């Protein structure tokens, strides 16, 4: 297992994976993988003491039961380039270490994010922080052109202030949120999964969701078993309220109980997973 994981992860080291129009994510370095998670959980110093199937089963057990500390043994370092408005959403996840390019020491680049026409939408009428219906193509083109002109004007003003000798830390203050920035971002796998659970959600803003998708692709190369377990038990899983669970229990103990078990098997549950599923529904609150 370790040789395959290392080769795939090594193959993508320092590769830039494009995001949006000018951004990227690349894996700078990583520590550990699926094997490190397994060794940490078993407090084992040897390699190959268990089969791949048993290792995968242990990782899935850890994820299913929220034993998170072994996942913290894996650390990934990314170099990312993104618009400032994406960075400001991203930095709200305070469980990582980062170092961002400084506009006090460096001249900011003349690079700005412009959305593709299919992403230019009206404000949603039902979601105060989301997008609604896409604008007609001609209106979208006018909106993007207006953004581009404003960006050019803002950067020209920035250059004028620099040429006049104004301090870089002051000259930059009128640059828009669409200007691109870069940073190094280091995070352990457990906290990365928390980041991904929020930023891969369909309600997350499109732009940061595209970064999350790229990061998850990279993480999958480093820890395929852990990422599979994350998808099964967190990303594509749901929790139920007490009332919802009680409704399911009535179904599980009624005339449709056999049908429910059959559907669970068809969905891919193993016999042991089916036992756990039934036990959850039979548990009294």
- List the catalytic residues: 199
Residue 74 structure tokens:
């894996």
The SS3 assignment for 38 reads helix
Nearest to 156 by CA among 181, 164, 106, 113: 164
Please, is 279 exposed, middle or buried when counting C-beta atoms within 10 Å of its C-beta (0-12, 13-18, 19+)?
Answer: exposed
CA distances from 161 to 111, 151, 166, 274 (A): 18, 15, 6, 67
- 105-142: b (≥16 Cβ within 10 Å) or e: eeebeebbbbbebeebbeeeeeeeeeeeeebeeeebee
- The 10 Å Cβ neighbour count of residue 228 is 16
How far apart are the C-alpha atoms of 29 and 46, rounded to whole Å? 24
Residue whose C-alpha is closest to residue 187's, from 57, 107, 77, 81: 77
| Separation CA 20–CA 85 (nearest Å) | 13
């Amino acid at each position: 297992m370790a040789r395959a994981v290392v080769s795939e992860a090594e193959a993508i080291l320092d590769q830039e994976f494009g995001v949006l129009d000018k951004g990227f994510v690349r894996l700078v370095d990583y520590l550990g993988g699926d094997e490190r998670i397994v060794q940490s959980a078993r407090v084992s110093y040897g390699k190959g003491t268990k089969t791949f199937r048993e290792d995968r089963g242990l990782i899935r057990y850890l994820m299913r039961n929220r034993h998170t500390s072994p996942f913290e043994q894996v650390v990934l370092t990314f170099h990312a380039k993104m618009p400032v408005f994406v960075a400001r959403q991203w930095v709200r996840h305070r469980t990582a270490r980062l170092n961002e390019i400084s506009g006090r020491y460096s001249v900011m680049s003349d690079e700005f994010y412009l959305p593709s026409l299919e992403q230019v939408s009206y404000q949603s009428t039902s979601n105060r922080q989301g997008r609604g219906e896409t604008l007609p193509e001609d209106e979208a083109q006018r909106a993007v052109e207006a953004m581009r002109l404003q960006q050019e004007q803002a950067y020209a003003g920035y250059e004028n202030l620099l040429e006049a000798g104004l301090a870089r830390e002051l000259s930059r203050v009128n640059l828009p949120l669409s200007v691109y920035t870069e940073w190094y971002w280091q995070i352990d796998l457990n906290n990365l999964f928390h980041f991904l659970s929020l930023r891969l959600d369909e309600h997350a803003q499109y732009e940061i969701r595209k970064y999350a998708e790229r990061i998850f692709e990279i993480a999958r190369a480093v820890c395929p078993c852990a990422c599979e377990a994350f998808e099964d038990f967190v990303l594509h899983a749901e929790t139920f309220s007490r009332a919802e669970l009680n409704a399911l229990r009535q179904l599980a103990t009624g005339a449709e109980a056999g049908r429910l078990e059959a559907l669970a098997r068809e969905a891919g549950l193993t016999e042991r997973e089916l036992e756990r599923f039934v036990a959850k529904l039979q548990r009294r609150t």
